[in-house]
Structure 1
Amino acid sequence: MLRARRRYLPFVTASVAFVVVCGAAGVPAPLYVVYQRAYGISTVALTAAFAVYILPLLAALLCCGSLSDHLGRRRVAVPALVVGAVGCLILTTVDSAVPLIVGRSVQGLAVGLALGALGAFVVDLEPSSRPGLAGAVTSGAPPGGIALGALASGAAVQVAPAAAPVVSFVVVAGLLVVAAVALAFLPEPAGRRPGALRSLRPVVRVPATARAVFPAVCVLVAATYVLGGFTQALAPSLTTFVLGRDDLFSGALAVAVYHLVGPVAGLAASRLRAARALTGGAVALMIGVAGYVAAIAAASFAAYMVAAVVAGAGFGVAFAGAMRVLLDRSPAGTHAGTLAAVYLYCYLAAAVSSLLAGVAVEIWGLAPVASGLCGLVVLLVAAGAGGAALRMRTA
């Protein structure tokens, strides 16, 4: 029993560190309404903060996504966590749009560095007795971390609204430092190999064995991130101004439920065949998104929460299946590059859609834009899942 626990410990440590760095990115979401009320930060500025968060994230994925394949996982993952702690400390100073955008940019850099390195760390340390577990973690850690971060800061705002914007980020910065120290003592699963400088060239690296299914899978997972990006940027405002909730914790729930149910469902479905998880999850996701539209039309927070559970479960199962489809087709030593390529397109789609949605809200209003974005997500999910199923059948 003790030996089994020791085998799992490095995997669990890397997984928890992955969740923590992604959780830091979820902390600001429930605070956006506070920033709007206290400092007059506009909706456009809030969506811009999310989009700007993604720009350095994308740059890190594009240039450093495969770096840990050459330097080793620890040499990239530990600095990523330290950078994340710095971003949190910057966010303790928010009193206008500028420190918010700067702090979010630094957070984006940290997450971009971590996605490839920590994701590959988790894959490399996966227990041989639990195949599919790493795919569930790599797909579930970003949304799960965001959900936990949002819930924590949302609860803090309810308990101590004046202190929460500072205390939340100080606590998370401390957790990131602890996670960095823990990672420094883990065994290094990927030895150093030449080509580190060459890997910094901005090139998307997808193994030839995974290229057939890559475009369709990316359309599917990008759709889930479009919905997730909108949720992070505007769900708290939607909860307050459309769904009629006055407490800030409801806004945190609106962000968290979709992102938290996803990884739980993905983990529960880790024993399903990858193709079945991808297509079945996609169907559930479309049903849940349709429920979002109905809830917005009825101005019902309860219906919105039910839809979030269904959509979140579909997202988690579909994403976990999609990641396994790609990782199963990626040779050892290419996992970081494959993960970086997937996240690159996902976050790019989320950034563009969130920024455009923020501008559109100023013109047409929150409810119509939210419903329109949900319709777009349904179309993307259907196209991605259908295309992936076709490519897997003919491959």
Structure 2
Amino acid sequence: MPGTAAPVTAKEPRFLAMLAALLAIFTAIFSSNLPTPLYAVWQVQMGFSATALTAVFAVYVFGVVSMLLTLGTLSDKIGRRQLLVPGILFITAGVLVFYFARDIYWLGTARILTGIGTGIVTGAASAAVIELDPDNNWTRAATMSALFFTMGAFAGPTLSSLALAFDSGASSWPFLVTLGLCGLTLVLLLTAPWPKDIGRRQKNFHFRDWRPTPVKVPRALLGAFAFSAAGICLAWSTGSLYASLGPSLARELVGVSDRAMAGLFAAAWQLTAGISQFACQRQPLDRLILIGPPLLIGGLLCLALAVISSSPVMFSIATLATAMGAGATGVVALAAISQVAPAEERGGIISAFYLMAYLTMATVVLGVGLVSDLIGFGNTVIGFTALISLAALTLLLVAVKTRRTSMY
């Protein structure tokens, strides 16, 4: 009848709540990656060293890790939305500090707040997306989470790179856009109807009884875990180089004079790695292990040649090749450990897996910064490519010799 509202279907509440959780993932990753192209600008304006720059990047990792170690299971107890809202509030606080930043201490504080918020949001939001899928399709839900993660990782540095291209308020208006995004996410989280049986606070839960779940790996799975952890550490170490120092590398060593273009290399790396992960999801692991590490090694060789010859073209090839290699290697690592981990211990094992990845990211970034101040940025990057290539080759030889991927 005219004027009669359409009936509300059972799936509509789930759709809005699922959209809120996905938007929370996008907002967290977007805000985390937004500053990447701006670090080189701040370094010039505020006058801090390469070590200090990488330290600012690394403290974000420690913020994420601290939440993984302490609050990883809390959303199971108090509800998904109840933890997502404070997570977004931490991210909002970090964005505000970035906006008003006047020195490196402000930048470090902003990164810590953003890291804490991201650590809170990603786990709770990913679990919520899986639970809220209207058809209980876990594969689709996981793919949607990964898609919004990749979109955020690409869109953040792209926006700030565009701001640099306009060369007006590059370190201010992108953060205003991010504040608007945080506000939209909060409104949707607070107003979207959630199904009564999903993500609610447990009736008998009391904060005084809650304890963080320890991160541990069963002794029987240490071999499989070491193989998978080595794979993800390889992938994330290369990604962290692009995320923290990619724009500086492009401008100082490769000869990309345009600041906006230099920033887009970090965005391109994230987008390519994300696309390659989607492309590799249905491929057998024994094939991917023969593709990922060799492609990563080839890309790292191109990166070294780009630095030696100051070639933007070679750097572009290196960006695409390392991203595709890291994406394929990361899929192997995650699939390998997920498939052997028993269901009752999978959460803790996966948390340990990501803990290794984040700690490797921080270690690599800090190490590159420290060594750069001693022997120079160019020599450090070339040494980095040699070290990671050797590690990737070792992983490949171990996989072939032990035929580890044939186990899955």
TM-score, length basis structure 2? 0.84
Aligned counterparts, 1:267-286, within 5 A: 267-273=278-284, 276-277=287-288, 279-286=290-297
- Paired with 1:126 and 1:321, the residues of 2 have a C-alpha distance of 25
Q: CA deviation at 1:222?
A: 1.5
Give the letter for the 2:170 counterpart: A
d(CA) in 2 for partners of 1:381, 1:157: 35
Written as runs of structure 1 = structure 2, the 5 A alignment for 1:193-208 is 193=202, 200-201=211-212, 203-206=214-217
Q: CA deviation at 1:195?
A: 8.5
DSSP-derived class of the 1:41 partner = coil
Greater gyration radius:
2
* Aligned twin of 2:153: 146
How far 1:219 sits from its partner (Å)?
Answer: 1.4
- How do 1:135-284 residues align onto structure 2 when only pairs under 5 Å count? 135-136=142-143, 142=149, 144-159=151-166, 161-184=167-190, 185=192, 186-187=194-195, 189-193=198-202, 200-201=211-212, 203-206=214-217, 213-273=224-284, 276-277=287-288, 279-284=290-295
**Which segment drifts farther, 302-311 or 202-211?**
202-211
Separation (CA, whole Å) in 1 of partners of 2:102 and 2:232: 35
Question: What letter corresponds to residue 42 of structure 2 in structure 1?
Answer: Y
Number of the residue aligned with 2:126: 119
Corresponding residue to 1:106 among 85, 88, 113: 113
- Give the whole-Å Cα distance in 2 for the aligned partners of 1:343 and 1:198: 26
**CA contact 1:61–1:113 (8 Å) conserved in 2:** yes
2:74 matches 1:64: no
> In the alignment, which residue of structure 2 is the partner of 1:354?
365
What is the CA–CA distance in structure 2 between the aligned matches of 1:302 and 1:367, rounded to whole Å? Answer: 17
Q: Does 1:295 align with 2:306?
A: yes
Cα pair 1:269 1:317 within 8 Å, conserved:
yes
CA displacement 1:24-61 (0-9 Å, x = unmatched): 11111111122122222322211110111222221111
343-352 or 370-379, larger mean C-alpha shift = 370-379
Pairs within 5 Å for 1:297-312: 297-312=308-323
1:393 aligns with 2:393: no
* Matches of 1:274 and 1:181, distance apart in 2: 42
Question: Which residue of structure 2 lines up, in the alignment, with residue 343 of structure 1?
Answer: 354
TM-score, length-normalised on structure 1?
0.87
Give yes or no for contact 2:26–2:148 (8 Å, CA) kept in 1.
yes
**CA spacing shift, 1:41–1:156, aligned 2, 3 Å:** same
1:271 is paired with a residue whose SS is coil
Q: Which residue of 2 aligns with 1:319?
A: 330
Change (3 A) 1:378 1:139: farther
Aligned letter for 2:186? A
**Aligned-residue CA RMSD (Å):** 3.2
Q: CA, structure 1 residues 275+114, in 2 after alignment: closer, same or farther (shift >3 Å)?
A: farther
Segment of structure 1 superposing worse, 143-152 or 291-300: 143-152
Higher mean C-alpha deviation, range 285-294 or range 77-86: 285-294
Quote how far apart the aligned CAs of 1:260 are: 1.1
Q: Contact 1:117–1:336 at 8 Å: present in 2 too? A: no
Q: Cα distance, 1:253 vs. partner?
A: 1.6
Q: Are 2:306 and 2:312, in contact at CA under 8 Å, matched by a contact in 1?
A: yes
Looking at structure 1, the residues matched to 239 and 155 of structure 2 have their Cα atoms a distance apart, in angstroms, of 14
Structure 1 equivalent of residue 50 of structure 2:
43
Letter paired with 1:374 = T
Contact 1:231–1:255 under 8 Å retained in 2? yes
2:29, 2:118 within 8 Å by CA — same for their partners in 1? yes
* Mapping 1:26-41, distance limit 5 Å: 26-41=33-48
- Whether the 8 Å contact between 1:61 and 1:112 is mirrored in structure 2 is yes
Q: 2: distance between equivalents of 1:284 and 1:4? A: 46
1:165 match: secondary structure:
coil
Query: Given that residues 76 and 117 in structure 1 are in contact (C-alpha distance below 8 angstroms), is that contact kept between their aligned partners in structure 2?
Result: yes
Find the aligned partners of 1:212 and 1:243 in 2 and give their Cα distance.
Answer: 40
Per-residue CA deviation, residues 201-240 of structure 1 (Å, 9 max, x unaligned), is 3721457896652221111111222112221221111111
After alignment, is 141-150 or 294-303 more displaced? 141-150
Q: Matches of 2:213 and 2:103 in 1, distance apart?
A: 33
**Structure 1: distance between partners of 2:337 and 2:53:** 33
Higher relative contact order (CA 8 A, sep 6+): 1
| Offset at residue 308 of structure 1 (A) | 1.0
Kept in 1, the 8 Å contact 2:22–2:129? The answer is yes
2:381 partner amino acid? A
* Cα 1:316–1:323 shift into 2, 3 Å: same
Deviation at 1:320, TM superposition (A): 3.2
**Alignment pair present for 1:73 and 2:84:** no
Structure 2 Cα separation of the partners of residues 3 and 365 of structure 1: 62
Q: Which residue of the partner structure matches residue 96 of structure 1?
A: 103
